[in-house]
Structure 1
Amino acid sequence: MAIPLIVGESLHLDYPTRTVFNDVTLGVEEGDRIGIVGRNGDGKSSLLNMLTGALEPHGGRVTRRGGIRVGHLTQADPLPEGATVRTAIVGDAPEHEWAADPAIRDVLAGLVSDLAFDAPVANLSGGQRRRVALAALLVGDYDVLALDEPTNHLDVEGIAWLAGHLKRRWPTGAGALLVITHDRWFLDEVCTETWEVHDGIVEPFEGGYAAYVLQRVERDRIKAATEAKRQNLLRKELAWLRRGAPARTSKPKFRIDAANQLIEDVPPIRNPLELKSLAVSRLGKRVIDLDDVSFSFDAKPAAPVLRDVTWHIAPGERTGILGANGSGKTTLLNLIAGSLSPTAGRIRTGTTVRIGHLDQQFSQLAAIATDRVREVLARTKASFTVDGKDLTPAQLLERLGFAREHLSARVGELSGGQKRRLQLLLLLLAEPNVIILDEPTNDVDADMLAALEDLLDSWPGTLLVVSHDRYLMERVTDQQYAILDGRLRHLPGGVEEYLRLRSAEQRGGASAPASPASPSAGSIPAATTLSGAAIHAAQKEVASIERRLAKIGTEVERVHQEMAEHDQSDYEGLQVLTRRLNAFDAETAELEDRWLELTEEIG
């Protein structure tokens, strides 16, 4: 029998304008791995604060088992005044103590390996402070971890590392995890139970995000009076989970037959050929061509952020861009958008291209900060077509999760999530044919993300996305590229291939920073048992593979160009081109596997 660690009984919480919780009873037991989801403002953080003791409920009580240690990561990131990265994480403990602990070394390598250990935390960026606060928590020994948005400011690698750390942190059946996050891949990877906070209650669901979506669909189906009610956004989301990512469905504990029955009449998420055809008619043959583009900041002309990037972006292309923090992803988007000019090479933009750029700083809203939302909407076009239906701007804003009562608010007074919704709406209403999204998941909840994905499914045009949200990346894009050592590389294997390449790069020491556990130590080359002649032969084969991969990349670009220029009604011809692409993808996967084997053998 599971041992209760924290129990909340008849919890009641009021804010001046509304009741957040009313008579909520729930418990956290040993072995629980609970993801907390819900719309922004519905009380997820308040619930976590009550369970950890950071907030006293206005009614009811919270009981914690005697002697349990609870670690709580808030969104405030409080760090000691005057601390350095070292003292904020390990305190005043002598180096031989924490450096000898493999668990602490793992946390340091996973979260702060790129930071100077003696740097004052006061000089760090918001994202760096967030990682230091998370590392300081994870090096501690706790029975319960309560994490409020731990994936904020982590890149894809950092999120994958955190998921692995939490899965192996406690033995099976021990410890407990409560986590609030909008990262749906992370929820599926880590959690075995989901709590949905809504309408003053907390509703439990078995399994991670995929299981939660199925059970919400079933709940809504039972409540629905007509079939029209059943045709909702969550069924489309379920269709993606079941068809688009079948590997996910082996993890959650739900009946596959029930899932298949619910989605048997749901059309595919999107029709790539139809959307490409529409995109070609709107964009013409040329979209944006980058030819041998490099970029350096004035302060470091000898250390270019991007080097020799050649990329011919095709009509209807839906591409995700991966890379570590600081690798140049945002710089690449700004070059494509025209807000930066390359220091070398050339960028050519088609005459019919209209770019919509959603950046991280809400720069599009700065000029209208004092306007009311309804005034802004009144200046936009009268309607917007989604899935064949005409929606007014107000209806579209509501579909994006924006409450009608917020129409009277001034733009500058909106919360981060509300600003992001309005920013997306204005971008869509401008009807660009190239959309650039830079971290679009910031400040938005899972339902909002699902609504955004649904809108993008039927949008014909070229889409470029930078995001640490792995679920969104795999959901809305059809191919991925990575920025590795300043160069752009195609990833036929997607996010998994990127993580493998980064792991191999770090093992090889090509660009891995010194471990904070031994900042003065030099890198130690991996041991190899190959003879000198064998090493030479392996190096020649590696060079040959790299030349072939470069040639395949050129061929793939040429085929994409042919597809863009091809008669879109000639499905047989398009299938021939698609088969050529598939053959290139298969050959690339084999070559990359062999490249990894050889580089590991060489050491």
Structure 2
Amino acid sequence: MANILSVENLTHHWGDIRLFNSLTFGLEEGEKAALIARNGTGKTTLLNILAGKQVPDGGTVTIRKGIRTGYLVQDPVFPAGKTVIESLLSGDNELIKAVRDYEEALESNDQALIGKMVEKMDAMGAWDYETRVRQVLDKLKITRLNQPVEQLSGGQQKRLALAAVLLEEPDFIILDEPTNHLDIDMVDWLEDYLSRNRATLLMVTHDRFFLDRVCNVVFEMDDETLYKYTGNYSYFLEKRDERIDQRNQEIDRARNLLRKEQDWMNRQPQARATKAKYRIDAYYELKEVAGQKTREADLSIDIKASRLGTKVLNFDNVSKGFNGKTLIRDFSYKFAKGEKIGILGSNGTGKSTLLNIINGDIKPDTGSIELGETVVVGYYRQEGIKFDENKKVIEVISEIADDIDAGNGRRMDAAQFLRYFLFPNEMHYVPVSKLSGGEKKRLYLMTVLMKNPNFLILDEPTNDLDVYTLGVLEDYLDRFEGCVLAVSHDRYFLDRVVDQMFVFQDGFIKVFPGNYSRYHEYIKENAKPAEPKIKKPVAEKREPSRERQRRLSFKEKKELEELEKRMAALEEEKKALEEMMSSGAMASDELIKASERMGVLLKELDECEMRWLELSEIEG
């Protein structure tokens, strides 16, 4: 395999802190590598340097001549004044330019210009590319192509930036947290896309399922050094433990030998003068090894929750909607002490609405909610909180409380609490603006846990946290004696933490007993193989027996049969239409009509699928 990337003696500092020192590594063509390190150790800085966005303090980065590089930054920003489609098709790729000109011609409805652009698309064979644009946008749920980009949320902008990178079809793809702001269906699709793509890949991600299934190389940055493991994430975990054990044994041996050499060095200089210089040099090398730490500074969360009584939280026929759309319909549930529940659902299905109702931020339209007297809610929001970027780190904590109850009679001041969460003394008076994204999230987690909540609401808690901190958080939640309600697209996190699922669909919340993998297996087992395009039904809700006895009427059964025939016909028409649009043989006016028909088809298919799901759940 040919070499794509060569890095030699790369060194960089952040202020007085050296992030990495003399890093030397490379990537071969087709390798798919993950970069793993603790928050604040320079992962994003390293990616910026590799992508040419930042200049290192020392060393060289060489990307093979002729290689096109695509870079997804952690927090993309698009210039205002452009639409989604203009921002998406802003690259220098000739195919992108052709498709962009064609889309603009369609928008202008200038028949002469459309004809000219059709000829250009024909000449370049760009119709397949235009189809891929539509497919990628559909998978990432980017639908309003003429919407001003400044109106997009942060998550929508991240998905748009991801689409732009993938559609440029670079030879070398660099991705910084690509799964943030993607739902599980999108993550599944991206996982499959990158696995089949021939491009060389380097990415930072916390999604351990994603790492396991996509990557065949793992780089670990630790103690200013880079270690390479040829294998997936599971292999990395095994070999990393072996590396640490071996290093600890070497340090222990060096310390034992150092005692003897120290006696020799402590003798009079005259006694050493006749000894070999190599032994003196070896002594200092031995002393350097023996001075290393045998254990890493690991975070270990052990903040005790407030006492939780028998009555926790009761929902009785709660409904809530906005702008005529019902997001939660007749939801009844009694939360029990110790329950840990994961939440699944597409964007806009009401997940955040439920969390905000529990937190008291919004009121339900109908129904009632009873909160136990001993319940203390801790709400970790996806968007975090807006820190004053000029404040010092220690001020963020001390302004909430300077005397923190850690449980079991332990109390900490702000400085002790920061050290407990691996913020060393030299970081206490650093402005918040200097923290990495992951460090800010860790600081935010501290502000939630220091109030000793016994009902934790976690909205995408895994975003921006490194895999080590995630493991510690999962251990803490496993021991947590209160209730946990978590929205997450991180399948590994859901498997590790939760024991049942709330599945949001069409305004209803279905309760499934089990973690994400059990739910996923249930969906696979109950999927209809003859209808691969149809969204699969969700797990049956544990409702009163009268609902379980509900069966389809004769009329509904006939409707279900007709829906299946109709969807098959629509799929066939859609497939034929895609082939015609990709052939390059259609006139400009025919193309416009075909595009309009495709929009009608997709809308009708979606409506049919939704109705099919309603009927098939009753039938099941």
Shorter-chain TM-score above 0.5: yes
Q: Is the 8 A contact 1:372 1:411 kept in 2?
A: no
Going from structure 1 to structure 2, the CA distance change for 1:68 and 1:419 (only over 3 Å counts) comes to: closer
User: 1:166 deviation in Å?
Assistant: 0.5
Q: Is the 8 A contact 2:499 2:515 kept in 1?
A: no
With the length of structure 2 as denominator, give the TM-score of the two structures. Answer: 0.67
Q: 1:107 aligns with which of 133, 136, 141?
A: 136
Identify which range, 287-296 or 47-56, moves more after superposition: 47-56
SS in 2 for 1:481: strand
Counterpart of 2:346? Answer: 324
The amino acid of 1:325's aligned partner reads N
Counterpart of 1:139? Answer: 167
- Rounded to whole Å, the distance in 1 between the matches of 2:54 and 2:372 is 56
Identify which range, 309-318 or 211-220, moves more after superposition: 211-220
Counterpart of 2:34? Answer: 35
- Rounded to whole Å, the distance in 2 between the matches of 1:440 and 1:407 is 23
Going from structure 1 to structure 2, the CA distance change for 1:416 and 1:36 (only over 3 Å counts) comes to: closer
User: 1:100 deviation in Å?
Assistant: 3.8
Going from structure 1 to structure 2, the CA distance change for 1:225 and 1:426 (only over 3 Å counts) comes to: farther
Is 1:213–2:237 an aligned residue pair?
yes
Counterpart of 2:375? Answer: 353
User: 1:26 deviation in Å?
Assistant: 0.7
Counterpart of 1:286? Answer: 311
1:106-133 deviation per Cα after TM superposition (whole angstroms, max 9, x unaligned): 31211134x3111121221121111111
User: 1:165 deviation in Å?
Assistant: 0.9
Counterpart of 2:225? Answer: 201
Is 1:505–2:535 an aligned residue pair?
yes
SS in 2 for 1:47: helix
Q: Is the 8 A contact 1:3 1:30 kept in 2?
A: yes
Going from structure 1 to structure 2, the CA distance change for 1:137 and 1:361 (only over 3 Å counts) comes to: closer
Going from structure 1 to structure 2, the CA distance change for 1:454 and 1:393 (only over 3 Å counts) comes to: farther
- Rounded to whole Å, the distance in 2 between the matches of 1:181 and 1:3 is 26
Counterpart of 2:62? Answer: 63
Alignment of 1:356-371 (within 5 A): 356-363=378-385
1:142-165 deviation per Cα after TM superposition (whole angstroms, max 9, x unaligned): 211111121122122221211111
Aligned residues, how many? 473
SS in 1 for 2:325: coil
Going from structure 1 to structure 2, the CA distance change for 1:207 and 1:457 (only over 3 Å counts) comes to: same
Counterpart of 2:276? Answer: none
SS in 2 for 1:427: helix
Going from structure 1 to structure 2, the CA distance change for 1:178 and 1:436 (only over 3 Å counts) comes to: same
Alignment of 1:444-459 (within 5 A): 444-459=465-480
Q: 2:179 aligns with which of 124, 131, 151?
A: 151
Alignment of 1:137-536 (within 5 A): 137-170=165-198, 175-224=199-248, 282-297=307-322, 300=323, 302-363=324-385, 372-373=395-396, 375-376=398-399, 379-384=402-407, 397-409=418-430, 416-492=437-513, 494-495=515-516, 497=519, 504-505=534-535, 520-523=599-602
Q: Which has more radius of gyration?
A: 2
Identify which range, 434-443 or 51-60, moves more after superposition: 51-60
User: 1:398 deviation in Å?
Assistant: 3.7
The amino acid of 2:8's aligned partner reads E
RMSD: 3.9
User: 1:397 deviation in Å?
Assistant: 4.1
Q: Is the 8 A contact 1:316 1:462 kept in 2?
A: yes
1:226-281 deviation per Cα after TM superposition (whole angstroms, max 9, x unaligned): 9x9xxxxxxxxxxxxxxxxxxxxxxxxxxxxxxxxxxxxxxxxxxxxxxxxx99x9
Going from structure 1 to structure 2, the CA distance change for 1:392 and 1:477 (only over 3 Å counts) comes to: farther
Going from structure 1 to structure 2, the CA distance change for 1:331 and 1:70 (only over 3 Å counts) comes to: same
- Rounded to whole Å, the distance in 2 between the matches of 1:56 and 1:419 is 24
Counterpart of 1:551? Answer: none
Q: Is the 8 A contact 2:313 2:372 kept in 1?
A: yes
Q: Is the 8 A contact 1:156 1:468 kept in 2?
A: yes
Unaligned runs of 5+ in 1: 229-277, 527-538, 548-594, 596-603
- Rounded to whole Å, the distance in 2 between the matches of 1:503 and 1:488 is 23
Counterpart of 2:550? Answer: none
SS in 2 for 1:94: helix
Counterpart of 1:54? Answer: 53
Going from structure 1 to structure 2, the CA distance change for 1:447 and 1:10 (only over 3 Å counts) comes to: same
Going from structure 1 to structure 2, the CA distance change for 1:311 and 1:351 (only over 3 Å counts) comes to: same
- Rounded to whole Å, the distance in 1 between the matches of 2:390 and 2:373 is 29
Going from structure 1 to structure 2, the CA distance change for 1:42 and 1:346 (only over 3 Å counts) comes to: same
Unaligned runs of 5+ in 2: 90-95, 104-117, 253-303, 538-563, 579-593, 606-611
Going from structure 1 to structure 2, the CA distance change for 1:137 and 1:93 (only over 3 Å counts) comes to: farther
Going from structure 1 to structure 2, the CA distance change for 1:55 and 1:464 (only over 3 Å counts) comes to: same
Identify which range, 350-359 or 373-382, moves more after superposition: 373-382
- Rounded to whole Å, the distance in 2 between the matches of 1:479 and 1:396 is 33
Q: Is the 8 A contact 1:292 1:344 kept in 2?
A: yes
User: 1:36 deviation in Å?
Assistant: 0.7
Counterpart of 2:559? Answer: none
Q: Is the 8 A contact 1:289 1:347 kept in 2?
A: yes
Going from structure 1 to structure 2, the CA distance change for 1:468 and 1:219 (only over 3 Å counts) comes to: same
1:478-536 deviation per Cα after TM superposition (whole angstroms, max 9, x unaligned): 121111112111234643546768973389899x9x9997663324878xxxxxxxxxx
User: 1:221 deviation in Å?
Assistant: 2.1
The amino acid of 1:283's aligned partner reads L
User: 1:342 deviation in Å?
Assistant: 0.6
SS in 1 for 2:181: coil
SS in 1 for 2:618: helix
User: 1:409 deviation in Å?
Assistant: 4.7
With the length of structure 1 as denominator, give the TM-score of the two structures. Answer: 0.69
